[in-house]
């Protein structure tokens, strides 16, 4: 009982320390900003700060606007518009408001600007004959008062529905959690939820219930207290992962968890706090979470330990960086506290029993670490895991065959690490060398691992079918590179590693095709094949018979030719508005231009709906006479649509 009280006090102290430091020293007073949507009234969020998105950590708040465009957006504080960016994707129509205290507030996915800002932008768009534009007004150009309506909320850019994306950035343009300014418009009395827990082995000698790998465990709850009922047997270096989310009053949306703290037998091991996040760090979401599991089962587990290659500055950890090391036979307890911005907290408890590995055992178990993608091998960290069906002798005993790994121009005999569910598991430490094949009693199998690629160093890899160039910032951690090449349905497929592995930066790939698809070379480019078989444009530059391109994703790539022009479909042609649907089936839309009586006319574009249209309040657009719409795709195919208004 005394130990439990000590654990609870330590957890409370750690969380208390986190939240007393939530608002950085020297930041503005809590009443400096007003809420940008319906200030003074109850508001709701569809997304919170540092919520875990597919490729980044969310940099602000997503504020609900009732599911329709048009809600007035108020300036959170006095200042001037320092930047305006209009783009098809990303933030869409966005305003950046600089304040006297050095901070900047950002208002994104807007439907419209107020008349003064709209006229300033439209004049620049006509001057440059482009819809997409980025402007940096002088301080005196667009002064704004606190509370002034600067625009209307919308659904522009890469938005999934009408809302306002709102940020507060410090003097260095680093986003901060806006909720630290305690906006009374948001009410949250709901503690975070825990969906599931996972344990993962972090070196070759570690075991979880006698096995190497990653294992998920259900939780049961009593209010805000969660626990794993199973007493899990562990040995060696272990990591804890958790699938959890937060909620707020009055909405069904799920949010990210603001802070977490973990203790091991009462001793603090790991904590994080998401109160500030530099854009240069947001890609670390791929190592903050378990990227492979997000890819495989579309479920987000965040790690309660610092993975190799993770440079996020938001952690406080033990000397083992949150990784648990258990080599005794004692009972241990892990306690996790999850806390949202408003101090609502939940607790999770795991019981771990130290247990030495039993390599001679052949046991049946419910949680079996199966190979992924129907392959008989898997690489986890620096360990190659090989799965081989067990053969039994006439008396029903399994034969403990030695596997012969060929690496470093030598062969190494290895017994199975253990046998489970009639499957022999062999483990090979890849730091000893990269095996190109393995022999199991005369049956030799090639392994696809081609090379060990170190992180933080430039590296080049050459093959007859492809060359791959890694910059020193391309990888989070050491990569055991796999590649493949095959011809399927009269096309070459170039496989560059597995797409369940994240890249930190882009890599350059040179393909050396042996056969080319029909069509002109200048319209032939590289496309990535999705899991569903769809093609997405990657581009490429030809040099003789090779084509080079940059990518941020591993996966399968093919060459394809796009000779099909975009499709233009009129929706409305009148003196009040021009509206068209523009579509391209392969490379995608590159540009569009509308001319009426030979004069360029501004048209807005929403790529989500493939629609372009004129604004009814655009005084520069004289919609009478002959018109011509020219649309070009990325491959250079052009379509012209003409008519008369």
How confident is residue 363, by pLDDT bands cut at 50, 70 and 90?
A: low
119 lies in a domain? yes
Is a pLDDT exceeding 60 seen at residue 375? yes
152 lies in a domain? yes
Phi, psi of 557 (to 5 degrees): -130, 145
Burial-class residue 169 by CB neighbours within 10 Å (0-12, 13-18, 19+). Answer: buried
Which of these, 466, 57, 459, 535, lies nearest to 258 by C-alpha position?
57
18 lies in a domain? no
- 222 and 299 fall within a common domain: yes
Q: Tell me which of 100-104, 362-366, 560-564, 630-634 is least confident.
A: 362-366
pLDDT on residue 367? 65
- Residues 565-577 have a mean pLDDT of 97
pLDDT on residue 84? 98
Q: What is the pLDDT of residues 236-252, one digit of tens each?
A: 999 999 999 999 999 99
- 135 and 62 fall within a common domain: yes
pLDDT on residue 54? 86
How confident is residue 55, by pLDDT bands cut at 50, 70 and 90?
A: confident
Cα(450)–Cα(304) distance, integer angstroms:
32
Let me know: does 475 contact 542? Beta carbons within 8 Å. Answer: no
Q: Report the half-sphere exposure of 277 (CA within 13 A, side-chain side).
A: 27
* Domain finish residue from 290, 320, 354: 354
Find the length of the chain. Answer: 645
For residue 550, CA distances in Å to 500, 503, 508 come to: 18, 12, 4
- 512 and 591 fall within a common domain: no
- 495 and 572 fall within a common domain: no
171 lies in a domain? yes
Is a pLDDT exceeding 70 seen at residue 368? no
Domain of residue 233 covers 193-354
Q: Tell me which of 47-51, 439-443, 453-457 is least confident.
A: 439-443
Phi, psi of 123 (to 5 degrees): -60, -40
Q: What is the pLDDT of residues 280-336, one digit of tens each?
A: 998 899 999 999 998 888 889 999 999 999 999 999 999 999 999 999 999 999 999
Structural domain tally of the chain? Answer: 5
pLDDT on residue 15? 42
- Residues 32-53 have a mean pLDDT of 96
pLDDT on residue 67? 93
- 346 and 378 fall within a common domain: no
Cα(269)–Cα(56) distance, integer angstroms:
26
- 551 and 577 fall within a common domain: no
Burial-class residue 269 by CB neighbours within 10 Å (0-12, 13-18, 19+). Answer: buried
Cα(270)–Cα(263) distance, integer angstroms:
7
- DSSP label at residue 533: S
Q: Tell me which of 21-35, 287-301, 468-482, 496-510 is least confident.
A: 21-35
How confident is residue 440, by pLDDT bands cut at 50, 70 and 90?
A: confident
- Which position has the higher pLDDT, 230 or 370? 230
Contacts of residue 1, Cβ cutoff 8 Å, sequence gap at least 6: none
Cα(192)–Cα(345) distance, integer angstroms:
6
pLDDT on residue 362? 57
403 lies in a domain? yes
pLDDT on residue 393? 65
11 lies in a domain? no
- 215 and 345 fall within a common domain: yes
Helix (H) or strand (E) holding 286: helix 285-288
- 267 and 323 fall within a common domain: yes
- For residue 497, what is the domain's CATH number? 2.60.220.30
Which of these, 209, 271, 196, lies nearest to 238 by C-alpha position?
209
- Residues 513-538 have a mean pLDDT of 93
How confident is residue 21, by pLDDT bands cut at 50, 70 and 90?
A: very low
Is a pLDDT exceeding 50 seen at residue 469? yes
For residue 59, CA distances in Å to 23, 52, 108, 276 come to: 16, 10, 11, 9
Cα(78)–Cα(32) distance, integer angstroms:
9
pLDDT on residue 27? 58
pLDDT on residue 445? 86
Is a pLDDT exceeding 70 seen at residue 399? no
Query: Considering the chain, what percentage of its residues have pLDDT values greater than 90?
Result: 81
- Residues 208-212 have a mean pLDDT of 93
> Encoding tokens for residue 489?
């349905």
**How much is the mean pLDDT over the chain?**
91
Q: What is the pLDDT of residues 578-614, one digit of tens each?
A: 999 999 999 999 999 999 999 999 999 999 999 999 9
Bridge pairing between strands 418-420 and 362-363: parallel
Let me know: does 69 contact 153? Beta carbons within 8 Å. Answer: yes
DSSP strand E in 35-148: where? 45-47, 61-64, 72-74, 79-86, 93-98, 104-113, 133-135, 143-144
Cα(43)–Cα(384) distance, integer angstroms:
51
32 lies in a domain? no
First-to-final CA distance of the chain:
83
> Encoding tokens for residue 604?
């807005």
pLDDT on residue 4? 45
Query: Does residue 270 come out as left (phi exceeding 0), alpha (psi in the -120 to 50 range) or beta?
Result: beta
Q: Quick count: other Cβ atoms within 10 Å of Cβ 106? A: 21
Cα(8)–Cα(71) distance, integer angstroms:
45
Let me know: does 426 contact 388? Beta carbons within 8 Å. Answer: yes
8 lies in a domain? no
Q: What is the pLDDT of residues 149-170, one digit of tens each?
A: 999 999 999 999 999 999 999 9
Cα(25)–Cα(218) distance, integer angstroms:
41
- 242 and 323 fall within a common domain: yes
How confident is residue 361, by pLDDT bands cut at 50, 70 and 90?
A: low
- Residues 614-634 have a mean pLDDT of 95
How confident is residue 360, by pLDDT bands cut at 50, 70 and 90?
A: low
> Encoding tokens for residue 185?
């418009």
pLDDT on residue 397? 61
| Chain centroid offset of residue 345 CA | 26
- For residue 121, what is the domain's CATH number? 2.70.70.10
Cα(173)–Cα(18) distance, integer angstroms:
23
SS3 content of the chain, % helix, strand, coil (to 5): 10, 45, 45
Q: What is the pLDDT of residues 535-550, one digit of tens each?
A: 999 999 999 999 999 9
* Domain finish residue from 391, 421, 445: 445
* Domain finish residue from 181, 214, 238: 181
> Encoding tokens for residue 520?
């002109």
Q: Tell me which of 255-269, 349-363, 446-460 is least confident.
A: 349-363
> Encoding tokens for residue 6?
């000590």
- 510 and 586 fall within a common domain: no
- For residue 316, what is the domain's CATH number? 2.70.50
- 209 and 350 fall within a common domain: yes
- Residues 409-421 have a mean pLDDT of 89
Is a pLDDT exceeding 50 seen at residue 429? yes
Dihedral (C-alpha) 573, 579, 582, 588: value to the nearest 10 degrees? 150
- Residues 359-370 have a mean pLDDT of 62
How confident is residue 402, by pLDDT bands cut at 50, 70 and 90?
A: confident
> Encoding tokens for residue 544?
């003789």
pLDDT on residue 66? 94
Contacts of residue 105, Cβ cutoff 8 Å, sequence gap at least 6: 33, 36, 75, 76, 77, 79, 96, 97, 99, 166, 167, 168, 169
Is a pLDDT exceeding 80 seen at residue 528? yes
- For residue 574, what is the domain's CATH number? 2.60.40.760
- Residues 456-463 have a mean pLDDT of 95
- 282 and 328 fall within a common domain: yes
């Amino acid at each position: 009982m005394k130990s439990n009280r000590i654990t609870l006090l330590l957890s409370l102290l750690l969380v208390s320390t986190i939240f007393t430091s939530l608002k950085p020293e020297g930041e503005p007073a809590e009443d400096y900003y007003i809420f940008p949507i319906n200030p003074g009234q109850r508001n709701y969020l569809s997304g919170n700060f540092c919520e875990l998105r597919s490729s980044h950590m969310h940099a602000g708040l997503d504020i609900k606007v009732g599911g329709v465009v048009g809600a007035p957006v108020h300036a959170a504080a006095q200042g001037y518009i320092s930047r305006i960016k209009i783009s098809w994707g990303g933030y869409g129509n966005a305003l950046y408001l600089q304040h006297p205290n050095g901070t900047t507030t950002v208002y994104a996915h807007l439907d419209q600007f107020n008349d003064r800002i709209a006229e300033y932008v439209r004049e620049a768009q006509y001057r440059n004959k482009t819809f997409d534009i980025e402007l940096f007004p002088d301080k005196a150009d667009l002064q704004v008062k606190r509370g002034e309506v600067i625009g209307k909320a919308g659904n522009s850019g890469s938005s999934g529905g009408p809302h306002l994306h709102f940020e507060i950035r410090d003097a260095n343009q680093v986003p901060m959690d806006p909720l630290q300014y305690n906006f009374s418009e948001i009410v949250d009395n709901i503690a975070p939820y825990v969906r599931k827990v996972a344990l993962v082995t972090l070196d070759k000698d570690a075991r979880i219930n006698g096995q190497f790998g990653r294992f998920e465990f259900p939780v049961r709850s009593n209010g805000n207290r969660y626990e794993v009922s199973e007493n899990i047997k562990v040995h060696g270096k272990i990591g804890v992962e958790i699938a959890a989310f937060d909620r707020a009053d009055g909405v069904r949306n799920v949010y990210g968890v603001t802070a977490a703290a973990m203790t091991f037998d009462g001793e603090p091991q790991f904590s994080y706090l998401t109160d500030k996040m530099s854009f240069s760090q947001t890609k670390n979401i791929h190592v903050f979470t378990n990227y492979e599991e997000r890819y495989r089962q579309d479920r987000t587990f965040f790690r309660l330990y610092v993975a190799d290659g993770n440079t996020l500055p938001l952690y406080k950890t033990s000397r083992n960086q949150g990784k648990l090391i258990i080599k005794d036979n004692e009972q241990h307890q892990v306690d996790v506290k999850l806390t949202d911005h408003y101090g609502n907290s939940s607790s999770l408890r795991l019981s771990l029993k130290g247990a030495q590995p039993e390599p001679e055992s052949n046991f049946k178990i419910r949680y079996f670490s199966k190979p992924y993608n129907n392959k008989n091998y898997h690489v986890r960290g620096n360990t190659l895991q090989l799965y081989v069906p067990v053969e039994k002798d006439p008396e029903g005993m399994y034969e403990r065959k030695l596997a012969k790994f060929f690496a470093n121009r030598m062969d190494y005999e290895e017994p199975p690490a253990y046998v489970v569910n009639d499957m022999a598991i062999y483990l090979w430490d890849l730091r000893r060398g990269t095996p190109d094949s393995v022999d199991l009693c005369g049956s030799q199998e090639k392994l696809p691992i081609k090379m060990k690629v170190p992180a933080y160093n430039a590296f080049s890899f050459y093959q007859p079918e492809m060359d791959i160039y890694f910059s020193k910032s391309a990888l989070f951690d050491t990569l055991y590179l796999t590649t493949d090449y095959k011809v399927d349905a009269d096309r070459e497929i170039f496989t560059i590693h597995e797409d369940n592995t994240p890249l930190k930066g882009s890599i350059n790939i040179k393909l050396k095709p042996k056969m080319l698809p029909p069509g002109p070379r200048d319209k032939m480019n590289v496309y990535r094949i999705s899991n569903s078989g769809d093609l997405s444009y990657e581009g490429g530059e030809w040099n003789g018979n090779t084509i080079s391109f940059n990518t941020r994703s591993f996966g399968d790539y093919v060459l394809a030719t796009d000779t099909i022009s975009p499709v233009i479909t009129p929706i409305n042609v009148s003196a009040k508005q021009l509206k068209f649907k523009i579509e391209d089936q392969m490379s995608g839309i590159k540009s569009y231009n509308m001319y009426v009586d030979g004069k360029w006319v501004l048209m807005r574009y929403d790529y989500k709906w493939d629609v372009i249209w004129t604004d009814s309040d655009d005084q520069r657009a004289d919609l009478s006479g002959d018109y011509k719409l020219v649309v070009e795709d990325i491959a250079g195919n052009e379509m012209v649509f003409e008519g008369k208004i």
